[in-house]
């Protein structure tokens, strides 16, 4: 049942990304354990307009991530912002989140991150406050897959962190 609900949420996200104006605030983060490379791989899908609105407030200057006028400074602001907003602990220890790259898919910025040196994550703590300072309605959906064990969590204002346990 949970899987169907999250498939439905993803379908809504995909449909909403086809339109430039939207009235809800949602981002999707997928966290996957790659045992072959001993790392966590995180993919975030964030609406471009929402991201730039919050990033501009954070940077105190206009930003253009995912737009034709995107600059190296914009990407640097994005990296710093996400490093402050997205925190991960693996097996009780703070993990270093490495920014890999971004790409654009219609009206969504796809951000790629990784956490290296992960042998077997039995516990993953995630805190994600991205965009919540700009939009109190913001929801950051977390879909985690560790060795075939899947968990789905909705993070929102007042509930910005999750403790995930895997066998």
End-to-end, the C-alpha distance of the chain in Å comes to 21
Structure tokens at 165: 């346990």
pLDDT single digits (tens) 92-117: 999 999 999 999 999 999 999 999 99
Mean pLDDT (the chain, rounded) = 90
Lowest average pLDDT, out of 9-23, 73-87, 134-148, goes to 9-23
| Amino acid 6: pLDDT | 47
Share of the chain above pLDDT 90, in %: 85
Strand pairing report for 139-146 and 98-105: unpaired
Whether residue 15 is predicted with pLDDT greater than 80 in this model: the reply is no
| Amino acid 24: pLDDT | 82
Any idea where the domains of the chain sit in the sequence? 2-165
Number of other CB atoms surrounding residue 57 within 10 Å: 13
Q: Which residues contact 35 (CB under 8 A, 6 or more apart)?
A: 120, 147
| Amino acid 39: pLDDT | 98
| Amino acid 3: pLDDT | 52
Helix 48-59 / helix 72-85 crossing angle, nearest 10 deg: 90
Mean pLDDT of 139-162: 97
Number of other CB atoms surrounding residue 113 within 10 Å: 21
pLDDT single digits (tens) 27-77: 999 999 999 999 999 999 999 999 999 999 999 999 999 999 999 999 999
Whether residue 19 is predicted with pLDDT greater than 90 in this model: the reply is no
Mean pLDDT of 125-146: 97
Give 118's DSSP letter: -
| Amino acid 1: pLDDT | 53
């Amino acid at each position: 049942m949970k899987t169907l609900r999250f498939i439905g949420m993803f379908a809504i996200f995909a449909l909403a990304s086809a339109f430039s104006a939207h009235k809800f605030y949602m981002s999707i983060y997928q966290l996957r354990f790659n045992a072959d490379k001993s790392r966590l791989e995180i993919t975030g899908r964030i609406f471009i307009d929402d991201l730039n609105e919050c990033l501009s407030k954070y940077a105190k200057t206009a930003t253009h991530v995912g737009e034709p006028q995107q600059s190296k400074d914009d990407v640097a602001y994005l990296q710093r912002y996400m490093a402050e907003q997205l925190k991960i602990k693996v097996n009780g220890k703070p993990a270093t989140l490495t920014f890999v790259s971004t790409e654009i898919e219609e009206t969504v910025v796809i951000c790629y991150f990784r956490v290296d040196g992960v042998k077997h994550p039995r516990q993953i703590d995630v805190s994600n406050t991205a965009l919540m300072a700009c939009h109190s309605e913001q929801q950051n959906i977390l879909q985690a897959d560790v060795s075939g064990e899947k968990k789905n969590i909705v993070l929102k204002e007042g509930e910005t962190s999750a403790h995930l346990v895997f066998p």
